[in-house]
Amino acid sequence: MKSFLILPGVDDEIADEDACKIEHNVNPETMRKLRKFVKFAKLDDGCTRWLDHFKYFDETGKYILCTPKDQEKCPIHSKRI
């Protein structure tokens, strides 16, 4: 559960505390889905970089419409080496 909270950028200490609270209060099916979600998120091949796009959205409030056509203009993809 901690890894689920860290994904979108929750602070490590807060993630520790909250993971414990969540684990004791949610349906096992929810836990199963969240574990699978974390596994899926970590499989990102670096092309979509959707988590980086989310973090940009979190910091700036701006949503990036990032299609393969306009990745050069994307603040996340244009930083890529």
- Which is closer to Zn ion, CB of 2 or CB of 77? 77
Asked if residue 17 lies in contact with residue 24, where contact means CB atoms within 8 angstroms, the answer is no
- Which of 4, 5, 15, 77 is close enough to bind Zn ion by CB under 5 A? 77
φ, ψ for residue 75, nearest 5 deg: -65, -20
Of 15-74, binders to Zn ion (CB under 5 A) are: 66, 74
Cβ atoms 29, 60 nearer than 8 A:
no
- Taking the complex as a whole, how short is the minimal distance between the CB of residue 9 and Zn ion, in angstroms? 17
Q: Which residues bind Zn ion (CB under 5 A)?
A: 66, 74, 76-77
